Structure 1
Amino acid sequence: MPTAISLLLLLAVLGFAVVRPRGLPEAVGAVPAAVLTVVAGLVPWRDAVHELGDLGPTVGFLAAVLLLAYLADRSGVFRFAGAVAARWSGGSPQRLLGIVFVIAAAVTAALSLDATVVLLTPVVFTTASALAIRPKPHVYACNHLANSASLLLPVSNLTNLLAMSAAGLSFLGFAGLMALPWLAVIAVEYVILRRFFADDLATPPHRPPVEPVPAPRFALAVLGVTLAGFALASPLGAHPAWVALAGALVLAVRLRVGLPTLVRKANPGFCVFVLALGVVVLGVSRSGFGTLVDRVAPHHPDLLGLLAMAFLAALLANVLNNLPATLMLLPFTAHSPGLVLAVLLGANIGPNLTYVGSLATLLWRQILHKSGHPPVTGEFLRLGALTVPACLIVGVASLWVSLRVSGL
């Protein structure tokens, strides 16, 4: 009975987050579920409070980086990126795809996957349309790289921040181990998307005039300093949330953005949702389902163990969503850096298989629906079936090499 109740609560929370009836925030469904988890005795209230305390700094970073991405957009960073892509592509669909890959990978790594989905995707769509290029390959690239290119830095994805402390790695240590898998996965994504969308990319180049957009030098400098601050904060024992908040405040003062707008753009409702979700997932982890996951999860960070953990994380991400999957699997990694990073490979790459794999993919789907060019489900699934297994295998092999070189 406890297992059934905990799973029903989790599925109800995720279903509410996907549907969002009447546009209500995700927290409206998650908070009552978290309260029921405690009231039903699935999680003692002291443990629930402890879980909230553990998640607090990570959720604080989420709010700060959402704010930083919004202010970067207000400063014209994404418009500038679109203008650069249009100019450098020369109207070539193939060249534009390569440029979009570079920009999307950089934005995802530095500003998190949400910035790529919410802010970059509309710019890429507009840029491709202005060049009379079929935008489908390029907007699909934004979605895939929002997930799979979020492997590089702890700040690239909420799942990464959760895992960094579990792995006991510094900011630079994390980046050093994930650099090779990040590059390898992006290369596989590019090769597969280039072949999958060959017909869309075969249209002849069209060179319409591109209106120049001035570089937002101040904003770009702030983002660069903020990214450097992430690397410096870890050895000093400072949480990256403070660095992201400092960068956001500098841009806010420059742009004269009011406090109510800053609070709204930090998306407190979604932050509360993540906190409540953590309590609900804790209830699932302590149930019979958690025991089952513990039995099937590998406990040795050899090549086969890493591969099994990555595919298990990908499976759970597409069943439960990647954030609950990460929260559930991290306690079963025995604080092994290799197994923790294998969880991230599965949780970050796996969501490219289905719409429900990550909240970012659901947001991307909503954006395309609003643009009047919704993704075709069959096409989305076929592309995911090609990219996800290939990226997981290449990513795990690259991670295994990185671990052997580092001696971990």
Structure 2
Amino acid sequence: MKTTKAGRPARAGSSPAAEVTMIQTTDVAELPAPPRPWWRRVDALDWVRVGLLVGGVLAVALGLLPRADARETVERILPLLIFLGAVIILAELAARAQVFDVIAARITIAARGSNLALFALCLLFAAATTIFLNLDTTAVLLTPVMLATAVRAGVPALPLAMTTVWLANTASLLLPVSNLTNLLAMNRVQLSPLEFAARMALPQLGALLVVAGCLWLFYWRRSPARYEPPAPVKPVDRRLFIAGSAACAVFILGVITGLSIYWVAPLCAVAVVVAFAVWRRAELSWKLLPWRLLVFVTGLFLVVDTIGRHGLSDWMTALIGTDPGDEGVIRAAAAGGVLSNVLNNLPVYLAGEAVVPVANHDQLLGLLIGTNVGPLITPWASLATLIWAESCTSAGLKIQWGRFMLAGTVTAVLTFAASVGGLLLSIHL
């Protein structure tokens, strides 16, 4: 029987040229694909992060941002960077200690196999965590819980992940403790915590109702109506589970009791690192450090400070205006929401606060709403979204950023309308 050079039988009626073509095609297909260049393996957001840092360093080197101002900026954000690094390490090691697996199993069991009940529980859990703690705590500690919940329930992870990030950003209006910008605004408008909550109750209610509807429409309704509740989880290493649980509990208690998060978070992270060093040293590596987030934050503040010295304040005044009435509230909220998605909500709030007249309390609250509920479109719009994205990446959940931005745009516009409308209604009641 006639055979090819590869030892395979030739097909009847095939020509030598066809045999050669078949052999060559097969051999080429079996060769391993050449590795892609390193610059093609880098995530697009990584280019943005590094680009911001390079831009900030160049601004200092070229004199666009004086060295003294740059040093002051770095000294101001250094505690923030330490806090962010510490809480991310704390959350990552707590996840490896199965703290979140245990919580996730209890949530899925409590929902009794109903997708609708699971949606309601996750919504309430995320909203309560953000309102009574703060949005960064939700992003850091709740994201792994939601992702583990999806695994335990055998349901898609994306709806639970989106619940976390959208509620982290939009459920932070009610209490001053919910957001750093709330604390800054409360001092400016001279409201007590209860007075602040009373003024922001309608905006918060409107935001929650709209976000719940959009979450169901865009993500949850496609999930199966029923799932099989999992069995309770027993930690593999009970010592690490206890250490991780205790560290998370101390961190949350520290936030609730008003202790400085800038030393509570590092202490809790160190405690868990020590526990892993004693009982599971192989889990510790430099990959735990969230370098992407730290690079982004540093570059962002340097770039925003540079822009501020070259006309940002004048531009913000032109956008926001000085009208103390309804028009001023709407303009401030719209400017805050749009610019938060272009830059980041924290520097945008600070830039806007600097140009809002001190007497315009309602206008400042409008700016606060815009910078709190608006950052739903771009992944860099808030630190909570950045922290959430880091957790999703660590868990292997790939986010389709095009869909993220499209759904976020619709939700941001509707949430903006509901929350600003609630503020205007509370003003005129």
Question: TM-score, normalised to structure 2's length?
Answer: 0.69
5+ long unaligned stretches in structure 2 = 1-41, 236-240
Of the three residues 316, 322, 325, the one matched with 1:299 is 322
Q: Where does 1:65-104 land on structure 2 (aligned, <5 Å)? A: 65-70=87-92, 72-73=94-95, 76-104=98-126
Of the three residues 209, 229, 232, the one matched with 1:211 is 232
* Partner amino acid, structure 1, of 2:367: V
Of the three residues 404, 407, 413, the one matched with 1:383 is 407
CA contact (8 A) 1:69 1:115 kept: no
Q: Which moved more, 1:166-175 or 1:140-149?
A: 166-175
Taking the aligned partners of 2:137 and 2:276, their CA distance within structure 1 comes to 19
C-alpha spacing 1:372/1:61, structure 2 compared with 1 (3 Å)? closer
Displacement, 1:105?
2.6
C-alpha spacing 1:246/1:322, structure 2 compared with 1 (3 Å)? same
Q: Which moved more, 1:125-134 or 1:162-171?
A: 162-171
RMSD: 4.3
2:21 matched residue in structure 1: none
1:33 matched residue in structure 2: 55
Taking the aligned partners of 1:272 and 1:369, their CA distance within structure 2 comes to 16
Taking the aligned partners of 1:164 and 1:62, their CA distance within structure 2 comes to 24
2:66 matched residue in structure 1: 44
Taking the aligned partners of 2:300 and 2:369, their CA distance within structure 1 comes to 21
Percent of residue pairs bearing the same amino acid type = 34
Q: Which moved more, 1:295-304 or 1:368-377?
A: 368-377
Displacement, 1:315?
0.9
C-alpha spacing 1:381/1:343, structure 2 compared with 1 (3 Å)? same
Q: Where does 1:6-405 land on structure 2 (aligned, <5 Å)? A: 19-21=45-47, 26=49, 28-70=50-92, 72-73=94-95, 76-109=98-131, 113=135, 116-117=138-139, 120-121=142-143, 123-152=145-174, 178=200, 181-197=203-219, 199-201=221-223, 203-212=224-233, 218-219=246-247, 221-230=249-258, 233=259, 239-248=260-269, 267=290, 270-271=293-294, 273-335=296-358, 338-358=362-382, 360-361=384-385, 374-376=398-400, 379-399=403-423
Taking the aligned partners of 1:204 and 1:48, their CA distance within structure 2 comes to 54
Displacement, 1:227?
2.5
SS at match of 1:313: helix
5+ long unaligned stretches in structure 1 = 1-15, 234-238
| 1:236-289 CA-partner distances (Å, limit 9, x unpaired) | xxx54234445555666666679x969975647744643443232122122235
* Partner amino acid, structure 2, of 1:227: V
SS at match of 2:374: helix
CA contact (8 A) 1:69 1:111 kept: no
CA contact (8 A) 2:113 2:228 kept: yes
Question: TM-score, normalised to structure 1's length?
Answer: 0.72
C-alpha spacing 1:251/1:105, structure 2 compared with 1 (3 Å)? farther
CA contact (8 A) 2:90 2:248 kept: no
* Partner amino acid, structure 2, of 1:226: G
Taking the aligned partners of 2:380 and 2:295, their CA distance within structure 1 comes to 20
Tell which structure's C-alpha radius of gyration is larger.
2
Taking the aligned partners of 2:92 and 2:374, their CA distance within structure 1 comes to 27
Taking the aligned partners of 1:330 and 1:384, their CA distance within structure 2 comes to 25
Taking the aligned partners of 1:354 and 1:79, their CA distance within structure 2 comes to 29
Taking the aligned partners of 1:94 and 1:290, their CA distance within structure 2 comes to 47
| 1:174-223 CA-partner distances (Å, limit 9, x unpaired) | 6676565444422321123224446415x332334422458966346424
Count of residues in Structure 1 that have an aligned counterpart in Structure 2: 377
Taking the aligned partners of 1:160 and 1:266, their CA distance within structure 2 comes to 29
Taking the aligned partners of 2:341 and 2:233, their CA distance within structure 1 comes to 42
Taking the aligned partners of 2:43 and 2:54, their CA distance within structure 1 comes to 13
Taking the aligned partners of 1:107 and 1:306, their CA distance within structure 2 comes to 28
C-alpha spacing 1:327/1:75, structure 2 compared with 1 (3 Å)? farther
SS at match of 2:329: helix
Displacement, 1:151?
3.9
* Partner amino acid, structure 1, of 2:209: A
Q: Which moved more, 1:361-370 or 1:76-85?
A: 361-370
1:4 matched residue in structure 2: none
| 1:6-26 CA-partner distances (Å, limit 9, x unpaired) | xxxxxxxxxx995325xxx94
Displacement, 1:388?
1.1
Taking the aligned partners of 2:229 and 2:310, their CA distance within structure 1 comes to 60
* Partner amino acid, structure 2, of 1:307: I
| 1:363-396 CA-partner distances (Å, limit 9, x unpaired) | 6567667877645556434432332122123323
Displacement, 1:90?
0.9
